[in-house]
A and B are shown apart, each in its own frame.
Chain A
């Protein structure tokens, strides 16, 4: 797994998921946790990149909330 500046910690991912489980017996195995960490990383980067592209399409250098709002529907459909 590539080590970059950002990335979700395994522990954080586990707690995030466990928070919403309906059954107390549900567990997540190690590999699945690592994959979920990757998935979340991709999710955040996609959201950021798409919002940035939207801002750039509007000839702006600063990415604001409206840009996130514009790209949000398609982002959620893709995940």
Chain B
């Protein structure tokens, strides 16, 4: 995956260095094209949903416009998220940063907070499952272990 690096222009450059810089720029351009296309595809799908819900038709230019707006808005989102994390002295962006991003509209904030809580609780469930599995595998006596043991002893149980 191409990491986004700011292009530094030194005072003196060897022609070889310049060629590499140009190649890096090309790679970035290619990445941008692919991302634009991916955003456009998903935008198309979502617009299709809305079209069906509302009983309207979206012109191709409309879908393209929404896709472009979304793509550009990602730049603002990315920069903001990075700043939020840095402000909290972190280098990893977390859900807290995303919630902060959604602060402008109450209903949006509520929605994102809800999703975040859902994610957090499903993460907790996953952790619980892993804990139980690993302790069962180690053969320690846990609550869950008693159930399989009784089942095997009772051969009458289907």
Contact = CB atoms under 8 A, between A and B. Distances in A.
B47 A48 contact: yes
B136 interface: no
Interface residues of A, number: 56
Contacts of A29: 92-95
Contacts of A63: 56-59, 62
B61 to A, nearest CB: 5
Size band of the interface chain B makes with A: 35 or more
B43 interface: yes
Interface in A1-54: 1, 4-9, 12, 15-29, 31-32, 34-36, 38-45, 47-49, 51-53
Which secondary structure dominates where chain A touches chain B?
A: helix
Interface in B71-90: 71, 73-75, 77-79, 81-82, 85-86
Contact of A6 (B32, B42, B59): B42
Given A22-B6, A48-B47, A56-B56, A12 B38 contact: yes
Contacts of B3: 18, 24
B116 interface: yes
A32 B66 CA distance: 23
A21 B3 CA distance: 9
Contacts of B62: 51, 63-65, 67-68
Interface of B: 1, 3-6, 28, 31-32, 35, 38-39, 42-43, 45-51, 53-59, 61-62, 65-67, 69-71, 73-75, 77-79, 81-82, 85-86, 91-95, 97-99, 101-102, 104-105, 108, 111-112, 115-116, 118-120, 123
